[in-house]
């Protein structure tokens, strides 16, 4: 196998603009072949989101159509061995945090085996985002295998409304999953809430009270144009600023200085010390300028942004004798090709061809 050589890539203006994106001009036109995973705007990437399946047992209105999607055949999914190999290469490139996601990661059988394989690689953080429906029975097994913490999605504290938004599933089961996660030590426990105007935005204070009462970190997420049905409308999202104002009017909030400047959530604690919330304002206050994330789809596509169609498969390389050096180069090229910003707020923005559950949120 020949040694990789530096490639020159033309720096073209981002067609969707750089609003909210990496500030300033591209730093260099030569992709580095060693050192951290860096893009041409100087953003160092150390967070890898790994989707283990595009399948899901729920059909959330903001994500998947009621009838489901055309799911990937089993043979197209990366095997656990392939995922661990890619994660090992990524570790060598400076990835320090891994999050498992999907689809619903826990519909993939034997996930604890994958967690064990990843844990051996020694990441600083190994987490999972789940809808919580299948978590309770396996929480302690996952923790024993090396999972550190979980984010559990839960969009309503009202059982009927929960069922209406997620279309399937049961709030009680998800609340039990939160208890099980805490009992297993999968903490700090974060609860993801996608707010939809007119559907659950009247629960903002209920969720704030829940955060205060339970100590769970509730993160309010703006609805993003990543639903498979393409029905997203700006009017449906609830801006993070509004969430802040409504909560702070009742319980004053204090901003936390970020431990990681790249964390998507703006974090706030209640001034009286009773808990924490986060605001993920991806649309109204994009954080692209500090984005350090890279995604691996369930079928082995490397994606440098949720909103970009730039996806480079590494699966075929793995299955046809590719070396680790070649795989590493795919990682570097994917990161290097990253646009400065997602461009949602630019004229002519188009949602990516693959929606949230197919990419891995
Ligand atoms: N199935 C798991 C779950 O729901 O937690 C993990 C995958 S899901 C795609 C990851 C996160 O993305 C969840 O918190 C979900 O609520 C969120 N999500 C899905 N579609 C979204 C959208 N269109 N806008 C904002 N967040 C979305
Ligand atoms: Fe499934 Fe998660 Fe999408 Fe809901 S948000 S349909 S639980 S993948």
- Identify the residue whose C-alpha is closest to ligand 2 atom 3: 63
| Ligand that lies nearest to the alpha carbon of residue 191, given by its number in the listed order | 1
Cis before 188? omega within 30:
yes
| Ligand that lies nearest to the alpha carbon of residue 360, given by its number in the listed order | 1
- In whole angstroms, give the CA distance from residue 340 to residue 69: 30
Biggest CA pair distance of the chain: 63
Q: Which residues pair with 125 in a beta bridge?
A: 97
Pick from 215, 153, 223, 222: nearest CA to 187: 215
Residues with CB under 6 A from ligand 2: 56, 58-60, 63-64, 102-104, 131, 153, 356-357
Is pLDDT at 242 greater than 90 in this prediction?
yes
Structure confidence by residue, pLDDT tens digits, 160-183: 999 999 999 999 999 999 999 999
pTM comes to 0.93
3-class SS shares of the chain: helix, strand, coil, % to 5 = 30, 20, 50
Structure confidence by residue, pLDDT tens digits, 11-64: 333 434 444 556 555 666 799 999 999 999 999 999 999 999 999 999 999 999
Ligand 1 atom closest to the CA of 56, numbered from 1: 1
Ligand 2 atom closest to the CA of 131, numbered from 1: 7
Q: Which domains does the chain have, with CATH numbers?
A: 4-359 (3.20.20.70)
In the structure, what pLDDT confidence band is assigned to residue 238 with cuts at 50, 70 and 90? very high
């Amino acid at each position: 196998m020949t040694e990789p050589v530096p490639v020159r890539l033309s720096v073209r203006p981002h067609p969707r603009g750089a609003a909210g994106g990496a500030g300033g001009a591209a730093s260099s036109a030569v992709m580095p072949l060693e050192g951290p995973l860096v893009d041409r705007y100087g953003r160092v990437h150390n967070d890898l989101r790994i989707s283990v399946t595009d399948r899901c047992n729920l059909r959330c209105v903001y994500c998947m159509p009621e009838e489901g999607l055309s799911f990937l055949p089993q043979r197209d999914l990366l095997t656990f061995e392939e995922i661990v190999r890619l994660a090992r290469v990524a570790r060598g490139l400076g990835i320090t945090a891994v999050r498992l996601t999907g689809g619903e990661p826990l519909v993939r059988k034997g996930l604890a085996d994958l967690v064990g394989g990843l844990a051996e690689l020694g990441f600083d953080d190994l987490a999972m985002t789940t809808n919580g429906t299948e978590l309770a029975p396996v929480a302690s097994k996952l923790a024993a295998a090396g999972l550190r913490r979980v984010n559990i999605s839960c969009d309503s504290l009202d059982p009927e409304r929960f069922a209406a938004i997620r279309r399937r599933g049961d709030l009680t089961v998800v609340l039990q999953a939160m208890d099980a996660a805490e009992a297993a030590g999968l903490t700090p426990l974060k609860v993801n809430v996608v707010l939809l105007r007119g559907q659950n935005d009247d629960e903002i204070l209920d969720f704030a009270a829940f955060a205060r009462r339970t100590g769970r970190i509730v993160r309010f997420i703006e609805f993003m144009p990543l639903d498979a049905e393409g029905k997203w409308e700006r009017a449906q999202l609830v801006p993070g600023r509004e969430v802040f104002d409504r909560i702070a009017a009742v319980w004053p909030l204090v901003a936390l200085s970020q431990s990681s400047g790249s964390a998507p959530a703006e974090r706030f604690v209640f001034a009286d010390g009773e808990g924490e919330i986060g605001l993920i304002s991806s649309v109204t206050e994009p954080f692209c300028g500090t984005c350090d994330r890279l995604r691996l789809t369930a079928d082995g596509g490397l994606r440098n942004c949720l909103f970009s169609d730039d996806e480079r498969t590494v699966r075929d390389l793995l299955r046809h004798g590719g070396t680790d050096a070649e795989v590493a180069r795919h990682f570097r090229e994917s990161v290097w090709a990253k646009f400065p910003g997602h461009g949602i707020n630019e004229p002519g923005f188009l949602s990516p061809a693959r929606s949230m559950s197919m990419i891995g949120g």
